[in-house]
Every structure is written in structure tokens, then in C-alpha cells.
Amino acid sequence: MSPKKGDRVSVPPLSGWNVIHGTTDAATGWEELCRVALPSAHRCLEALRTEPLSRANWNRQHQLRGRHATREWKGSELEQWEYEITSGGRVRYLVSPETSTVILVYASPRHPKDTE
């Protein structure tokens, strides 16, 4: 069965952050990213499970700026971050520290057009 909105991205972590699909498009895009760049997708998922708010590798993982810096999710305003998987592939995610959850809201091997 294909993943749906709200489904787990994969098995839950033993510790750290839980990562879920926030949209059906993000679930589909994640599967496509895994097909074209599996090692990079694996590194991304590991980073999101362990340190989704890390600023250590700013070129690869960072909070978006301006109108994209936050996004509403179920009544809460959450920080929106981006992880560069490939030169064009991106994953955007929201971070909920209260629930230790990372919500994938965009995943694609193509760069999103809204920040160009």
C-alpha cells in the first residue's frame, strides 16, 4: 500500500525525532527521491531523525527565510526547513519540538519553483 498523508516515513526511530509525511505529494516525492538518490535520501532521513534543527552544514540543511520561514500546521506556526538531497532535489519539512516530530511537506528530485 502506498504511503498516505500522516503515515510514518519509515519505521519509528529508537530515539530522536519521528518523521512523518505531511502531504500525499511529499510521500510520493520521497519515494521518487529514494529511487533516484537512495544513499542521499538515507543521509537526509538520518539527519532529520537526529538533528533536524542543525546549523552545522548550512549549505545542505537550513531554515528557509522570509515568507517561507514558518508554516501553519494543525493550528501551530512551525519553522520550515529545507534539506538539499541532490543539486536539484529538495526536502522541506516542519519541526514540532513539542512532539519531537518532523513533518515532510515537500520532497522532489526537482528544485521547488517558489524560492527562485
Instruction: State phi, psi for 5 to the nearest 5 degrees.
Output: -50, 130
Kindly give the interhelix angle for 38-50 and 24-36, rounded to the nearest 10 degrees.
130
Q: Is the pLDDT of residue 115 over 70?
A: no
- The pLDDT of residue 64 is 95
Give the contacts of 83 (CB within 8 A, at least 6 positions apart): 44, 47, 48, 60, 61, 90, 91, 92, 93
Which carries the bigger pLDDT value, residue 65 or residue 113?
A: 65
Alpha carbons 71 and 73: distance in angstroms, whole number: 6
Query: 64 with 33: CB under 8 angstroms?
Result: no
pLDDT 10s digits, 48-101 = 999 999 989 888 999 999 999 999 999 999 999 999 998 889 999 999 999 999
